[in-house]
Amino acid sequence: TTLMPDRESFAPRRTYEDGVYSSSKWPPNQQMCMHHELSYALEFPGLMLYACLDAPDQGGATAVADAPAVLDALPASLTARFEREGWLLTRTYNDEIGASLAEAFGTEDRAAVEHYCRAHAIEFAWQGDGSLRTRQRRSAVVRHPVTGRRCWFNQIAFLNEWTMDPEVREYLVDVYGSDGLPFNTRYGNGDPIDEDVVLIINEVYGAHTAREPWHSGDLLLVDNIRTAHSREPFEGPREVLAALGDPVRLTDCAPTIEVRAA
CATH number of the domain encompassing residue 228:
3.60.130.10
| 3 occurs within a structural domain | no
| 261 occurs within a structural domain | no
| 226 occurs within a structural domain | yes
Predicted TM-score (pTM) of this structure: 0.93
Radius of gyration for the chain, computed over Cα atoms and rounded to the nearest angstrom: 17
What's the rounded Cα separation, in Å, for the pair 12 and 95?
A: 11
| 4 occurs within a structural domain | no
| 154 occurs within a structural domain | yes
**Do the beta carbons of residue 250 and residue 89 sit within 8 Å?**
no
pLDDT at residue 262, rounded to an integer = 67
pLDDT at residue 138, rounded to an integer = 98
| 155 occurs within a structural domain | yes
Please give the average pLDDT of every successive group of 10 residues along the chain, which has 262 residues: 88 85 84 94 97 94 97 98 97 83 91 96 93 96 98 97 88 86 94 96 97 96 98 93 96 93 72
Strand partners, 171: none
Q: Tell me whether residue 14 is exposed, middle or buried, using C-beta atoms within 10 angstroms of its C-beta: 0 to 12, 13 to 18, 19 or more.
A: exposed
Cα 43 → chain centroid: 13
Contacts of 206 (CB under 8 A, 6+ apart): none
Q: Strand, coil or helix: what is 168?
A: helix
| 6 occurs within a structural domain | no
| 259 occurs within a structural domain | no
Q: Strand, coil or helix: what is 45?
A: strand
> Structurally, how many domains does the chain consist of?
1
Output the 3-class SS for 195-207: HHHHHHHHHHHHH
* Domain interval for residue 111: 15-253
